[in-house]
Every structure is written in C-alpha cells, then in structure tokens.
Chains A and B, each alone.
Chain A
Amino acid sequence: MTIDTTSKPTESMPTETMPATAEIVERCRSLYEDLDFSAARAWKAAVPGRKVVGFMPVYAPLELIHAAGCLPLGLFGGGDQMEVIHGDAYYQSYICRIPRSTVELGVTKRLDFVDGMIFPFVCDVIRNLSGMWKLMFPHVWSKFFDTPQNFDPEVGGRYYVEELKELRDGLGTLTGRKISDDDLKRSIALYNENRRLVREVYAFRARAPWKAPTSEIYLLMRAGLMMEVEEHNRLLVAYLAAAEAEDRPKRDNVRVAVYGSFCEQPPLNLIKSLEMAGCYVVEDDYALVNRFITEDVSTDGDPLEALATAYLKHSVETSCKYVPNEEDKGKYHVAQVRKARAEGVIYATPSFCDPALLDRPMICRRLGEAGIPHIAFKYAENSGQMQPIREQAGTFADSIKLWS
C-alpha cells in the first residue's frame, strides 16, 4: 500500500473550493448509513487480492491491519435502520442489541466481503460472539483479541507484545505477506496523525460546540472507521477548516459530557435529541477506537513494544479496563469533564450492557463527589422514541442553568 501522510482534499471533494461542513457530513452520513458497505466493497474490488478486516468496539490496533495492507472496517452493529430478523434467533431477550444486529449483518451476507474479524475484549457477550463467528463463518479469519488487565510493562506488557505478534502473524497468514517493522512504523505514523487530528477536532468542538455539533462529529468519526486512514486524515483537516470558517448561531445550551456509550452505539437521533434538548455535547465516549490511545505511539524502536506501551500507559479509562488503584477510579472522567468544561454528565448506556451498567454507580459516585451533576438513562441502538430522552435531557439542562 502506498502511504501518503500529507493531508490533501479527497478526490470526491472539489479542489478549487473548500467543501462546506454540510458536504463533508453528508458524505460521512452516506457511509454511516450504508449497511451494505459499498465503499469498503469498492475498495476491495479496486485491487485484486485486497482484504478487509472488520473489528468491533472498543479498541483494536488498527495500525497492524493497515500495515498488512488491509482495510480496517469498524463494525458497530446495525443501528436503527436495519430490521433484525435472524439475529434475534441467536439471543435471548436479555442480551444487548449489538451482537444480534452484527449477526444479522453476517447472515444476510452484508459482510460477505469481510475476510477477517477482530473481536476486541469488551465484555462476555462480544467475547462469546467471537466463537459464534468461527462457527457461522468458518472461512473468515476470526480473532478474539484479549488486551491485558495488568498494566506493568514487565507483566501485562510482555504478554501483550506476544499477543500483538500473534495478531501480526494471523494477519500475515490472511494476506500472505509478512508485516515488517518498517511497514508497521509507517502505519503507526499515519495513525498518530489521525489521532492528532481527531484530538484537534474534539478540542475544537469543546471550544466552539455550536460550530461542531456532536451529531456531525459523530458521523465524521464513524465514517473514518470505514475508510482508509489517509483519507480520513484529509477529511478531518477539511472539516476543521470548514467548521472554523462557517458562522453558526451560538445557542444558550449547557455543556455536557456523555459516557457509557462506547460499545453499542445510540441512534443518531438520540445524539441529535440531546442537542435539541439544549445540550452541547463537549465530551463523550462514543465508539472510542480512534481516541482509545491518547498520545502518539512511538515510531522508534520495536513497533510492537511501542503499541504495547501506548496501550499500557496512554489509553483512556473505560469500563472494559481494570483500574488498579481505587483512588484512580473515575478520575479520568472527572478530569475529562473539567478539561472540556462540561457542566454535567449524561451517563447513557445500552440496555443490558454489563460493563457500562456495572461501572455506572462507581463513576456516578465519583462525579457526585466532584460536584458534577449527572443523570443516567438506557437506550438501544434501535431506540425509536426520543421524546422521553429529550424531556429528561431538557430537564437536566434546565436544572443546570437554574441551579448549578
């Protein structure tokens, strides 16, 4: 794969005039809504031998997939636009929605072009789905990717480097090409650029949320997980420039952070509903993936060691990760709220989401201790009724305005 780290307009965008945010967002929306994954199919068809590797939330080392010459394809269930018929036959009513819609995508052949699937450690449901995938799609290379819960470089780090080697070897077998350290370093550099731009976009949103609504940023990020990283980098640059240049009205909204939504994603309408209810979302954990690592990954030395160190030392606190010290629990959330100058937190979790729901009392307690107002509700990726959510979020926004 030719690697180009320069940020330049994409072919689909006019070069003579800067695209408006609406144009960029529209393109992202069409990618996000396309459950046949036409763009990824086209990418694969463009060059014989290309492979697509799907990955589920919440973190996978995309650099390795990229270095293998594959397209990493973020799979976040079926959203609210897909009727789940077959998927429900695989799960009891008390299992969350994302595995059933992912199965639906699989059995309806919407993923029949996907050559490999990575199931990162999120919870027992996604863990078990990895085994189901092996049985349902035996021709697909499926990998459960277990990141360490021990963060000592000499203990968890050594384990993780070996796991990364195994992942690299698996991808090598899938593609028939060996991933060299130099390949990987080039990919790391590209993803460092991506992470920097992603951070910049989120920082811009926190500075001027009226110019970068979360309903747009969300699409920009979700689409980015379905295209080549080089292209996403260009898109991020274009969006930042367009959003900065555009004049949009600033509303009397409160600034909120949203947590608990890292795996099964809320419908776009829910994100919009929060905004319509008077909330600027200035911090969130939607999808995470491209924000999971919080700093540049070193491009010096052994690249697998570098990826391991980044995971151990510079990754977000989220419910799928153990927090070794009690005093650190929730500290990350409080710090992020402060950094983004959020006035309150909406803890919005998918129904039956063990990680988020088991964490909720602990995180909310820490928020309370820090004097940060918070509310909580549950959703599903296909939630349709937004009125109760709008009312709850609107009341929360009013209460912050009146009493905080």
Chain B
Amino acid sequence: MSDAVKEPSMLLQKEMIAKNYEAITSKNETGRKVASTFVPGNLNELLMCFGIVNNLPEINAIQNGMRKLSGSYIMEAEKGGHSEDVCTYVKADIGMMGKGNIAPNGKPFPEPDVLLLSYTGCYTFMKWFELLREQYKCPTLMLHVPYEGDGHATKNMRDYIVRQLREVVIPGLEQVSGVKFDIDRLREALRLSAQAEEHLVWTLEQGKRKPSPIDAYFGGVYYIGPIFTAFRGTPEAIAYYEALRKEVQARIDAGQGPVTPDGGSFDDQKYRLVVEGPPNWTNFREFWKMFYDEGAVVVASSYTKVGGMYDLGFRHDPDHPLESLADYCLGCYTNRNLPTRIDILAKYVEEYEADGLLINSIKSCNSFSAGQLMIMKEVERKTGKPGAFIETDLVDPRYFSAANVKNRLESYFQMIEQKRRGAAKAA
C-alpha cells in the first residue's frame, strides 16, 4: 500500500502530537511534570493550570495499533498473566512497558508524576490505573464520575464531581507540580476550549451536506484529535480547527467529498452511514478503504463523542469553571445510558439523512459493546432504516478479519439497495 495522502490539517495535527510526545519524553531534561490520564473526562485545561503535560495511554495504544506494534505488546501482557478477555488498550499499554516503553518518537516514556484517573464512562479505567500505579508507584488522583443511569445528570452528581475536584484533584495536582491553582488561568483555558468546540461542531455538522465534505468516522478521528487529547484549551487547537474549517469549506465550495488516504476526493457517495463504536486501529486504512471502495461515507458517529458531546450544545464555560468540567465529564457519550444512546443515534440517522446505522462492535470494550444489539434493533425500529453489525477489536490484530468485515459490509449495502428499490416501488 502506498503512503497515505494526508490533508494539511492532518499534517498540522501530526506536528502537534509529535510536539506533545517531545514534551512528554523530554520531561527529565525540562523538569516538566507528566500526568497520565484518559480521553473521556480529560481535564486538559486543569492540567495546564499546573504546567503538567498530558499523556494519554489510549492514544499511545492507538499509535501502537496503527504502527502494527500492539499485537506483540498484547501478547507480552498475556504472557504476564493478563487475560485474553480484557481490554486490549490496557494490554497494549502494559505490554509496551514490558518491551521498553518506547514512545512513538522513539524515545523512552518517562515515568508519570501522577495518574489522573478520570473515571468517566468506562469501568476498565479504574483497573487500568490500579495496574499502572502498581508499576509506577506514583500518586493517583481518582475522579469518580457517576453514570447517568436515569438518562440525565443530577445536582448530586455534579456536586460530587466538583467536590472531588476541589478536595482531591486540585490539591493533588498542586502537590505534584508545586504550582498554586489559579482559577483565572483555568477560565482562560476554558474560553479557548469553547472556541475550539464551536469549530469542531461546525465541522462535524457538515456531514449533513450532500455530498458530505467529511467522513465523520475515519476522518472524524482526526478532527477530534486536538480536542480529545492534550490541546483543548490551547491556541494551537483553535489554529488547527481554523485550518480544518478552511479545508472543509473549500470542499463544500467545490462540491467535493472528503479526501481518502489514496489521495482521491470521495465524491461519488452512494451510501450515507451513521457508525456506532470505536474503529479498529490495527487495519485502519484497510478498514476505511472497504467503505469508500463501496461508495459509503460516514456522516455521523458516536466514537467522535467519547471525549465530549459538543454537538448537543455543551461548551466549557469560563464563568462556571469547575461545574463546567463536571458537566463535561458527565456528558461524555459512554457515560450516557442505553436509551439515551439510542435516541442520539436515531437522531443522527434522521438529521444526517443516513441510510442506516452500522455498529462496529469491539470485542474488548464492554462499555461500548454491551447492549449494542439492542441499540441496533431500537434504532431500526425508531427510524425504519436498516442496521448492520460488524465485529472487530481496538488494537488486537487477531480480531480483525478483513474478509468477514468486507462480506458483512457488502451484504449491508445490498440491503440498503433493496430497501431503496422497495421504497421506490411503493412510491
């Protein structure tokens, strides 16, 4: 396969991520502190208040998946007693430690100074950081974000999170960094966050156009990159989204679809899909190709909401900084109950005029996967549009079966065609 063609915004993002890896791996020279933390419930603005660099083990696992390294890391972890049944992000991370703990820039990851366990929407996070804590013996700050079991956040949940921020997280970060908390610094970062969030929402909503100028799943994982990682609350994130907007606007003006990794403009869009679930990372490009080769573009996805549901109106609010962080954590996609997830997906199918819902069910991610068959059935019932189900994994190459996935996708597209013909006849 030739080198993937990347848009300028993708290259810009690559530079940003590389810069962050440099900041992480040079901590012993610069003296900066490093926190490991998670994407959902990511408190980047808060970490910035203390000058702490943000390292995200999920992103490291994704990087290793895309670089075809995760398979050997996972096996290394399994040799060490980790079950074949559990989250492969965790095993890729643990296995990476066992094999030298080398960052994507080729330099060794330093030990983190703090584990910021922002426990939002995924049980595994808790165990993941208990496992890392065992290795690193560093302070661990737990932020428990209650699950929206009844489909909404309550005042009690919000107060609980704010109290934890005040009593546990902020004092803990002050201690680790030696920097006194300045709420005005946080407000300023949140102000920048809200601007970037506006840009992101605009970008994602362009999926409503025909042809869609974006792919909201395979392209979407690039679009969410800066906001979901170490750049929310920075001017760099705003610069990135401004550049992205220009690209998307140019495609809209030219009536073009997204640029594919092959370099072509994907204009001939036969099928418009909403996708639920994370992508497979080990065969990302091959997976994406299966879609555009068949003329399928993803117009909306739930994965691009795991780090915040900005499209539903949430913005970080500098006037209510801690409360705003609490609301952000509560509202991440996997922290919402099943009926709410169904409503969101059905709304996407309707609003983005999709042909149906495709679920990529991840073998080792129960937070997403448990209940997805019911999600499919319910979204089908609500929208009258056909759903389909494929199964892969996050970063375990053993669970990506290209032939199976391709067969199922082809069958699904035939189903959509049949449905269209039926509708045309009825009309």
Q: Which residues of A contact B (CB under 8 A)?
A: 89-92, 94-95, 99, 119, 121, 123-125, 127-132, 134-135, 143-146, 148-150, 152, 154-156, 158-159, 162-163, 166, 319, 322-324, 326, 329, 351-355, 357-362, 364-365, 378
* Interface bits B364-380 vs A (CB < 8 Å: 1, else 0): 10110111111000100
Q: Shortest distance in angstroms between A335's beta carbon and chain B's nearest beta carbon? A: 18
A360 with B147, Cβ < 8 A, contacts A94-B363, A124-B123, A322-B130 known? no
Residue from A89, A162, A362 in contact with B131 in the complex, judged by beta carbons closer than 8 Å? A362
Q: Return 18 A-B CB contacts under 8 Å, by A number.
A: A89-B373, A94-B85, A95-B369, A124-B124, A127-B123, A130-B149, A130-B338, A150-B160, A155-B167, A322-B142, A323-B130, A326-B130, A326-B137, A352-B366, A355-B127, A358-B83, A361-B81, A364-B81
Q: Are A124 and B156 within 8 A (Cβ)? A: no
Q: Are A354 and B123 within 8 A (Cβ)? A: yes
The chain A residue sitting closest to B119, CB to CB, is A149
B-chain residues with CB within 8 Å of residue A156 when the two chains form the complex: 144, 160
Knowing that A92-B369, A150-B144, A354-B123 touch, tell me 6 more A-B residue pairs with CB under 8 angstroms. Answer: A92-B361, A92-B373, A123-B123, A131-B151, A158-B160, A358-B131
Given the complex of chains A and B, what is the CA–CA distance between A365 and B131 in angstroms? 11
Given the complex of chains A and B, what is the CA–CA distance between A185 and B402 in angstroms? 60
Q: Are A135 and B338 within 8 A (Cβ)? A: yes
B-chain residues with CB within 8 Å of residue A378 when the two chains form the complex: 83, 85
Given the complex of chains A and B, what is the CA–CA distance between A40 and B420 in angstroms? 51
Q: Check: B110 CB closer than 8 A to any chain A CB.
A: no
Q: Are A354 and B124 within 8 A (Cβ)? A: yes
Q: Are B373 and A128 within 8 A (Cβ)? A: no
Q: Check: B86 CB closer than 8 A to any chain A CB.
A: yes
The chain A residue sitting closest to B128, CB to CB, is A358
Q: Are A124 and B339 within 8 A (Cβ)? A: no
Which of A91, A130, A135, A156 has the largest number of chain B CB atoms within 10 A? A135
Given the complex of chains A and B, what is the CA–CA distance between A245 and B341 in angstroms? 57
A361 with B82, Cβ < 8 A, contacts A124-B366, A135-B378, A159-B159 known? yes
Given the complex of chains A and B, what is the CA–CA distance between A155 and B157 in angstroms? 11
The chain B residue sitting closest to A160, CB to CB, is B160
A-chain residues with CB within 8 Å of residue B131 when the two chains form the complex: 358, 361-362
Q: Are B140 and A144 within 8 A (Cβ)? A: no
Given the complex of chains A and B, what is the CA–CA distance between A341 and B155 in angstroms? 47
Q: Check: B249 CB closer than 8 A to any chain A CB.
A: no
Q: Check: B52 CB closer than 8 A to any chain A CB.
A: no
Q: Are B160 and A319 within 8 A (Cβ)? A: no
Q: Are A158 and B163 within 8 A (Cβ)? A: yes
A148 with B337, Cβ < 8 A, contacts A326-B134, A361-B82 known? no
Q: Check: B133 CB closer than 8 A to any chain A CB.
A: yes
Which of A131, A361, A362, A364 has the largest number of chain B CB atoms within 10 A? A131
* Interface bits B359-403 vs A (CB < 8 Å: 1, else 0): 001011011011111100010000000000001000000000000
Given the complex of chains A and B, what is the CA–CA distance between A309 and B171 in angstroms? 24
Q: Are A124 and B122 within 8 A (Cβ)? A: yes
Q: Check: B80 CB closer than 8 A to any chain A CB.
A: yes
Q: Which residues of B contact A (CB under 8 A)?
A: 80-83, 85-87, 90, 119, 122-124, 126-128, 130-131, 133-134, 137, 140, 142, 144, 146-147, 149-151, 154, 156-157, 159-160, 163-164, 167-168, 337-342, 361, 363-364, 366-367, 369-374, 378, 391
B-chain residues with CB within 8 Å of residue A119 when the two chains form the complex: 149
Given the complex of chains A and B, what is the CA–CA distance between A214 and B342 in angstroms? 44
Residue from A91, A353, A354, A362 in contact with B130 in the complex, judged by beta carbons closer than 8 Å? A362
B-chain residues with CB within 8 Å of residue A123 when the two chains form the complex: 123, 366
Given the complex of chains A and B, what is the CA–CA distance between A358 and B81 in angstroms? 10
Q: Are B149 and A127 within 8 A (Cβ)? A: yes
Q: Are B146 and A125 within 8 A (Cβ)? A: no
Residue from A127, A131, A145, A155 in contact with B164 in the complex, judged by beta carbons closer than 8 Å? A155
Q: Shortest distance in angstroms between A96's beta carbon and chain B's nearest beta carbon? A: 9
A354 with B86, Cβ < 8 A, contacts A92-B373, A128-B371, A158-B163 known? yes
A132 with B374, Cβ < 8 A, contacts A144-B149, A148-B160 known? yes
A-B pairs, 8 with minimum CB distance: A144-B149, A131-B338, A358-B127, A159-B160, A149-B144, A131-B337, A357-B83, A162-B156
Q: Are A135 and B123 within 8 A (Cβ)? A: no
Q: Are B168 and A322 within 8 A (Cβ)? A: no
Residue from A90, A94, A129, A329 in contact with B134 in the complex, judged by beta carbons closer than 8 Å? A329
Q: Are A149 and B80 within 8 A (Cβ)? A: no
The chain A residue sitting closest to B367, CB to CB, is A124
The chain B residue sitting closest to A365, CB to CB, is B134
Which of B168, B364, B366 has the largest number of chain A CB atoms within 10 A? B366
Q: Shortest distance in angstroms between A304's beta carbon and chain B's nearest beta carbon? A: 13
Residue from B127, B340, B341, B363 in contact with A354 in the complex, judged by beta carbons closer than 8 Å? B127
Which of A128, A156, A351, A365 has the largest number of chain B CB atoms within 10 A? A128
The chain A residue sitting closest to B391, CB to CB, is A92
Given the complex of chains A and B, what is the CA–CA distance between A121 and B122 in angstroms? 12
